[in-house]
A and B are shown apart, each in its own frame.
Chain A
Amino acid sequence: MSDFLNKKYYVSRELSWLEFNARVLDEAGDIGNPLLERLKFIAIFSNNLDEFFMIRVAGLRQLSGSKTLQTDCSGLDPAAQIKAVKKRLKSLIERKYRYLLQEILPELEEKGIQIVSAEQLSSEQRVFLKEYFLNQVFPVLTPFAVDPSHPFPILNSGAIEIAVSLSRDDSGKVMHAFVEVPTLLARFIRINSSSKNKQQYVLLEDLIMEHIQFLFSNCTIHEIIPFRITRDMDFSIEEEGVADLMQYMKKELRHRKSREPIRLELPKGSRGKLAEWLMEQFQLDDDLKYNVPMPLNPAAFFEFIGKVNRPDLMNQSWPPLPVPEFSNGGGSMFDVIDREECVMDAVPFQSFDPVVKLLNEAADDPDVLAIKQTLYRVSGDSPVIKMLQRAAENGKQVTVILELKARFDEDNNINWAIKLEESGAHVIYGIAGFKIHCKALLIVKRTKDMRIKRYVHLATGNYNDKTAKLYTDMGMFMCDPEICLEVSSLFNVMTGYSSPLNTWNRIAVAPFSLRERFIELIDREARVSTRNNPGRIIAKMNSLVDPEIIAHLYRAATAGVKIDLIIRGICCLKPGIGTANINVISIVDRYLEHSRVFYFRNCGEEEYYLSSADWMPRNLDHRIEIMFPVEKESVRKVIRQMLEIQLKDKRKSRHMLPTGAYTRTFNKGKDNSASQFRTYQLFQEIYDKSRQRREETKKLKVFSRPQEI
């Protein structure tokens, strides 16, 4: 086994992540994608990269600073990783701006959408913008001067800042100042244009720079440079000393402002005294400075895409389909689950509504005694929160386990926590030491004959109605008493009501038994695999990083097991070393591939599982995660079809090469095999068939009526 831990089998995690982001960038370059979709991928790429700097690069910097020579599974130490990252980034950033500036923005201009610079404005437009600046922008701007009496200000991470050098007309001494471009205001300001079919926009920072003089009266402005810093956000909570996690998080969020800068982005070609002064102030290593073409922070194009509102330049929408079982008019959600025992919803192909509907029914049903739910990332005006609030107000025992440590969403989560508590729900903020990542909903109901019946919904994705439209996830409504019992004990562990009893048989729970279960399943496949009857594993997840699992996969592949891995993001396993049995593909398309699906052939006694966990040490050892079986044949059939569609995708799937690089896809033109499209078709067919059947039974009823009499 230790042989398979050799570094030759592994790809560096950070470099593999960059390869994932490169695939996102490919989508921005894919001429088969509509223009605004391509622009969206530019925004996603940029946003991803920001997070990568804030967490991963920051982490590497901390490691390389601590002088401990820790190498990753591929044998690189932190400094070597930073170097390799920087090298790979160079070409990616070049490509990003090439797509943006040479392809997407010019083509948008042809379609009548234009971002104009100050020089291009007509005098009428200038008048409008000056008005706009004075009324809307000027009041919220706060310039900070830098001089001996004003220390260097704390600049927000991720915000665009404008550095100004100026001198007072009376003294003539050169001073410096900063103006932050407020993130609360629209970054893209639409201006009236000459033609009706033309949309023109001005960038907020351009507008501010144009009118900078208003902020510094009686001064002469020498130079202006917009720039952006990114800070280290890789803080880990030392929970043992933290009595009140909530208070701590609030404090930590405030501290974010002042954390160590990790990246400085300056416009390409910034030279002169002001640029030199800036560099001096930040004292950053050369490899953390980036000279980039304008505009800064392309992640903000999300806002732009929403504003231009041009459906013709977007993907044709695929309205989420109803889940057939729940749309047959067959009574309440509970009745349907009772009858079907197991119902799957696959968002975003299918609608997220069943979850909301179930909660809605539960909130008002007098027989419902308790509702428990894990919430990880909750959307702004979440219907889930509203239902839970109502249920609590209706006297149900509502327990919400809210993970405050969901990165970048902490601010959001704290607000909902307070709201829920006010309505009488019992809100629990995670457990010390473990991030709660499993997605589970448990409803305790009393039946008409006074028995207790429990219902669960377990899912691969969060209870978030917004991401349910963008992330591909699968959820399962079930009422199997054993599974419900096991999920109940999981909730008891999460709420702190009980220590783990280790009685999970049907489900597996990290960090208690999930790693062992995965390894058992992989090893079993290796054990039963023969030449005539080879084993088979299909595993779909976001990231594969865990060295122990990789070693077991390698061993199984060497024993003849055919392994297909569908891994959207990081994959530290290098396929094709010593065995041809491992195939790794990655699908990046309009929806973010997010579900975790595991298939084991088990000599024909096939097993299907869904999980909230990736094969990463953090999921298996430091988080509460869950894996649950899919036992209903009709549901297994659909999952099997989905996996087959994905493995046959020639349009949006990329093959991982033994080097750790991936094949490119965007030149494949009009191939029809894109798996997300085909999956949507699959659910369309399923829905149509069920509707047909329903109509046929309706017709039959009409004919049977005379006989009844």
Chain B
Amino acid sequence: MALIPARKIKMPLQAAIIDIGAHSARMDIIQIEKNKSYEILESLVQPVNLGRDVFTKGMISPESTSLLCRIMKDFAAKTAEYGVGYIRAFATSAVREAFNREIFINNIKIASGIDLEVLEGSKEAALITMAVKKALGGKTALSKADLLLLGVGSGSVEVSLVRNGELKFAETFALGTIRIFEEYGSRAAEPERLTDIIDSYMELIADRISRISDIPKTIQFVAVGESVRVIMDINGKAAKNQPVRTITLEKFEKLFRKINLLSQAEMAEKYQISDVAAKGIIPCAWIVKRFFDMTGAGSLIVPAVTTRNAVLEDIIRQLFNEKDPFIPDMLSVVKSMAKKYCYDPNHIESIKEIAVKIFDKMHAIHSLGDRERLYLEIAAILHDVGRFVDSRKHHKHSCYLISNTQIPGLTEEERLVVAAVARYHRKGKPQASHPEYMVLPPQMRVLVCKLASILRVSDAIANSQERKTRNCSVAVKDRVLAIKISGSVDMGLEKILLTKKSDLFEDVYGMKIVLE
């Protein structure tokens, strides 16, 4: 994700956030104040049909592309009316699944001058989780809460599980309120077929969650998404502008029975909503109903959170150079994942500790930042997950597993970097014949080398540390990395291991390692 040169931007700032979803393109023009508060100056929405294109044909049609180009051009013109100094445009489910997405993004750029980024499911889930936590803030004691978060979109649903305030699970599933009709045709509207489709996804979701954690008996059920909001609006217009709304299971079921009797057109007419919104209501209500069943919750909490304002909060954090508050959640999820693959917690802890120590001491040499440090930490936690498959070639298995697992908060590219760092924690160095290495852009390959070399060194030392002592210090002096392990008796084995594993480090940094 592009970092914003924060020092150059003055507050108050007029910014635009554009969100291209499966069925609508939206833009908010906002004014961000010095105290980080913001005000929406304009909201725009245009219906689009990317969902139908992508979920049935796998690609965005030329008609949709030209419509989106026109809309984005209008949006760009609109930003000029406010002298907008910062534009962030992102696309969610439909575009991210389209195989011609790069061409689409390029067309948008040419037509409107706007760079469109694809917001990946894992990133979207992370942002929404944070926004929900913030929105619920005072309402529930979140630090210790157990919470199931459901994000219902027209093209996908996101499911997150928080236990004791720590995120344990977050995944995106290809079950969307409108997508159902697009993938399964109009027959999906038949009640039985609709519940069959939803139930098959529910089994999948339950199975995925159960591999990470059981669902506690008392859990808060939170849902966000446009269709959920529409249902809440129908429940009571008066509370429309409240930051958090709730509905009891009983009330929800009553409401569901009521709307289930209406046709789509009747709903649109009666509740003054668009046809697309009306279409999504019944599938959404079913999904919510199934989650009520799954969680056994007595009520549903709906905070006023949208992907757009979740991204907005992310932008504000970046503008103000704030630390990513999602890092603890991300590390928590990564640990759950490692646990799933039967990791060795002691080894992980010590290798992570040493790796981070080396990373921090070498800052002047590698000049990498917090984000890169996070990649190293995650790679350290996950580097051995491949052992679950087989000890032989386990670094390759780790690479495969990591690159194919959704990690909330990491983009696909970031995940591939982490996978490659884990891949090179042992055995051969990166080579032009390694596809997992070559798939990365050149600057990312450099990053992989820098991080993997540290991880390799740490792995060599961690082995001994676990057995002998926990005290290790690191110093950098005159192009020598000096690692001192105090209280140890015999360092013979470590020295042998280190000579085997310091090769990449010496290649990358041109430094020697001395073990004392």
Q: Which A residues form the contact surface with B (CB < 8 A)? A: 369-370, 397, 399, 426, 444, 446, 449-452, 454, 481, 485, 488-489, 492, 495-499, 501-503, 513
Q: In the assembled complex, which residues on chain A have CB atoms less than 8 Å from the CB atom of B40?
A: 485
CB contacts (< 8 Å) of B44 on chain A: these are 489, 492, 497-498, 501
Instruction: Say whether, besides A452-B31, A497-B74, A497-B75, A369 and B45 are in contact (CB < 8 Å).
Output: no
Q: Is the CB of B43 within 8 A of A503?
A: yes
Question: A498 contacts which chain B residues (CB < 8 A)?
Answer: 43-46
Residues in B with CB closer than 8 Å to A495 are 74
Binds A, one of B80-88, B109-117, B455-463, B476-484: B80-88
Q: Is B272's CB within 8 Å of the partner chain A?
A: yes
B78 within 8 A of A: yes
What residues on A are CB-neighbors of B39 within 8 Å? 481
Q: Which residue of B lies closest to A513 (CB)?
A: B272
Residues in A whose Cβ lies below 8 Å from that of B10: 450
Please state if B77 and A499 are interface contacts (CB–CB under 8 Å).
Answer: no
Q: Which of B43, B80, B83 contacts A501 (CB 8 A)?
A: B43
> Which residues of B in the span 68-106 have a Cβ within 8 Å of any Cβ on A?
74-75, 77-78, 80-83
B42 surroundings in chain A (CB, below 8 A): 485, 488-489, 492
Closest to A447 in B: B12
Q: Is the CB of B77 within 8 A of A426?
A: yes
Q: A485-B40, A485-B41 provided; 5 other pairs, C-beta below 8 A?
A: A452-B82, A495-B74, A497-B75, A497-B78, A499-B47
Q: Which of A488, A489, A499, A513 contacts B46 (CB 8 A)?
A: A499
B78/A452 in contact, CB under 8 A:
no
Bound Cα distance from A370 to B14, whole angstroms: 14
Quick one: given A485-B41, A501-B43, are A397 and B80 in contact (CB under 8 Å)?
yes
Interface set of B (CB-CB < 8 Å, partner A): 10-12, 14, 31, 39-47, 74-75, 77-78, 80-83, 272, 274
User: B81: which of A397, A449, A481, A501 is its contact (CB, 8 Å)?
Assistant: A397
- Contact between B45 and A397 (Cβ–Cβ < 8 Å)? no
A397 touches B43 (CB 8 A): no
A481 to B42, CA, bound (A): 11
CB distance from A96 to the nearest CB of B (A): 49
In angstroms, Cα B81 to Cα A449, docked, is: 18
Contact B43 A370 (CB under 8 A): no
B interface, over-half SS? mixed
Which A residues are in CB contact (< 8 Å) with B83? 369, 446
For residue A503, which residue of chain B has the nearest CB? B43
- Shortest distance from the beta carbon of A687 to any chain B beta carbon, whole Å: 36
Known contacts A397-B77, A496-B74, A499-B46: does B12 contact A450 (CB below 8 Å)? yes
Contact indicator B81/A369 (Cβ below 8 Å): yes
- Inter-subunit contact A499/B74 (CB<8 Å): no
Would you give the shortest CB distance from B16 to chain A, in whole angstroms? 12
In whole angstroms, how far apart are the Cα atoms of A495 and B74 in the complex? 9
Known: A369-B83, A444-B81, A502-B272. A489 touches B43 (CB 8 A): yes
From A426, A488, A502, name the one whose CB has the most chain B CB atoms within 10 angstroms: A488
Q: How far is the CA of A426 from the CA of B77 in the complex (A)?
A: 10
- Pair B46/A370 contact, Cβ less than 8 Å: no
For residue B34, give the distance in angstroms from its CB to the closest CB of chain A. 10
CA distance A501 to B14 in the complex (A): 21
**Can you list 24 residue pairs at the A/B interface with Cβ under 8 Å?**
A369-B83, A397-B77, A397-B80, A399-B81, A426-B77, A452-B31, A452-B41, A454-B41, A481-B39, A488-B41, A492-B42, A495-B74, A497-B44, A497-B74, A497-B75, A497-B77, A498-B43, A498-B44, A498-B46, A499-B45, A499-B47, A499-B274, A501-B43, A501-B45
CA A444 to CA B12, docked complex, whole Å: 16
Q: Specify which chain A residues have a CB less than 8 angstroms from the CB of B11 in the assembled complex.
A: 450
A450 to B34, CA, bound (A): 11
Contacts of A481 in B (CB 8 A): 39
Residues of B within 8 A of A485 (CB): 40-42
Q: How far is the CA of A397 from the CA of B79 in the complex (A)?
A: 10
State A268–B173 Cα separation when bound (angstroms): 84
A495 to B14, CA, bound (A): 21
Nearest-CB distance from A224 to chain B (Å)? 60
Contact status B12-A370, CB under 8 Å:
no
**A385→B229 CA distance, assembly (Å):** 44
Q: How far, in angstroms, from A498 to B47 measured CA to CA in the complex?
A: 9
| Residues of the A chain whose Cβ atoms lie less than 8 Å from the Cβ of B14 | 452
Q: How far is the CA of A499 from the CA of B14 in the complex (A)?
A: 22
* Chain A residues whose CB sits within 8 angstroms of the CB of B74 once the complex forms: 495-497
Give complex CA distance A503, B40 in Å.
13
Give the docked Cα–Cα distance between A495 and B81 (Å). 13
Shortest C-beta distance, A516 to chain B (Å), equals 8
Q: A397-B77, A488-B42, A497-B74 are in contact. Are A449 and B272 (CB under 8 A)?
A: no
B445 to chain A, nearest CB (A): 42
A363 to chain B minimum Cβ distance, whole angstroms, is 15
4 A-B pairs with least C-beta separation: A498-B44, A370-B81, A397-B81, A497-B74
A444 to B79, CA, bound (A): 12
